[in-house]
Amino acid sequence: MVIHPPMLYLGYVGFSVPFAFALGALMMRYPGEKWIRITRRWTLVTWLFLTVGVSLGMHWAYAVLGWGGYWGWDPVENASILPWFTATAFLHSVMMQEKRGMMKQWNVWLIFLTFLLTILGTDLTRGGLVSSVHAFAQSSISQWFTVFLCITMAVCLFTYFRQRSHLESEHKLVSIVSRESSFLFNNLILLVTCFTVLFGTLFPVLSEYVQGSKVTMGPPFFNRVAVPIGLFLLFLTGVGPLLAWRATSLRSIRRNFVLPCIATIGSAVILIASGIRPWRVSEADQQGTIYSLVCFSLGAGVAIAILSEFLRGVGVVRTQTGRNFFSSALLLTRRNNRRYGGYLVHFGIVSLFVGLAGGAFNQQRELEMSFGDSLTIGNYKLVCQSYTQDSNPNYDTDFALLDVYDRDRKITQMAPEKRFYNASQTTSTIVAIHSTALRDLYVVFEGRNPETGKPIIKVFLNPLVSWIWIGVVIIVAGTFLSLAPQSKSALNPRSASASPELQLQTVGGD
């Protein structure tokens, strides 16, 4: 909590800069791409702060709150992710404006919406517009935010309608099978997700206004909508980099999509053979298992698509320069760090999706445990060695010591706690987590049975959660790579001029 709020609000506040440039450029009719070039790095850094802020919030919810999950579709959680959707859409579609002079009106409104959603998110957190465990005390500040939102929207609308002739596109969409169309679909998916989450978040306010009573949308509504949309977005993450600008030839499609399709189908077959079979689970779990199977398979296909595209470029550089593999890979990346930084970010997205898909196989058990009692979940057996109480001037604590065995081999000892802080008169859960690449063993001290005095231990087995945090680290690394200054040193001029393909791979579009 020391770093999560500053990161999140740096993301919120930072978007005021590209918003101001976009509005000023539209008012003064500056060249369409000028404000984008000026603010590109600022927008990317701000997006990075927002991404890290949201991710730290997820980790805090998981490691501290003790409910076994990392995202509960709480209104304030939703408020933090809404501007992330529109900012991500902007970072993709802005390349169409830079390369092709297209989607100028779209990009202006994306950055307008991103700024407006940051103000709305602050209103939800500070104004008490909707009920949330993360919200501050309700106050009259919400009225000021609402007035500011209305004024800002009015200024944006007035400026847009007065100057929209300045935002005419220079080119039209030539083919549905092109990189332009993939960016367009990507934007549409992100915006549909954004406004669906916004609708569900504000539904209590809308229902109270229409019916006189608040109706809250719970996680089932958001999951039902967000999961299939997210899978389609994952599909576009792999397809986009393989498509050419303007139009993609049939030959190029066959060459670029064979390996990803094989990887996707092969992964599905292997996963089914290894035991992920939706038709063998209960009806309640069937849909989640299907979605996870699709996600794992698509993730493999997307990873292979990105990797094969990168290796193809490395092969061309090796052929033309005679360098070794690692030197060629470094040279290729330095020549277009923005493009390959984006590829690395896409790898991080794949890792994050794999971690999220593991949630379909979560297990949990709860048991009252005394000395020597054991609890089995998955391959793990937890044996209670002791439980006791302790006090210090700051807090009173209840905790249990649990030996953890994996197939009869002791691997660790865990000590979940429940603390009561005397000054604030509040209770806090200290979660014990044993994390591996495949699963997290997550143990919570729920409290004591008032009749027996024995501790109640709740245990979660959460597969692949580590892949979420690994994905975030990869996304951060990819963003830093995209921000790095691009190398100006050219390849061997004779080799570069002799190979148009080399020029495409090393200097080509993002």
Q: pLDDT tens for residues 477-490?
A: 999 999 988 766 54
The Cα 345–Cα 267 span in angstroms is 22
Torsion, Cα of 332, 335, 337, 339 (10° steps): -80
Q: For residue 138, is pLDDT > 80? A: no
Q: Summarize pLDDT for 405-442 with one digit per residue, the tens.
A: 998 899 999 999 999 998 888 888 899 999 999 999 99
Q: What is the value of pTM for the model shown?
A: 0.89
Collapse the DSSP code of 435 into the 3-class scheme (helix H, G, I; strand E, B; otherwise coil) and give the result: strand
The Cα 368–Cα 363 span in angstroms is 17
Q: For residue 510, is pLDDT > 70? A: no
Contact 73, 218 (CB under 8 A): yes
Q: Where in the chain is the domain with CATH 2.60.98?
A: 361-467
Alpha helices in 322-463 (DSSP H): 325-335, 337-357
Q: Summarize pLDDT for 180-205 with one digit per residue, the tens.
A: 788 888 889 999 999 999 998 888 87
CA 396 to chain centre: 38
What are phi and psi for residue 100, nearest 5 degrees?
Answer: -125, 0
Question: Mean pLDDT score of the chain, rounded to an integer?
Answer: 85
The whole-number pLDDT of residue 32 equals 63
Is the domain defined by 361-467 classed in CATH 2.60.98?
Answer: yes
Contact 179, 92 (CB under 8 A): no
Per-residue three-class SS string for 107-129: HHHHHHHHHHHHHHHHHHHHHCC
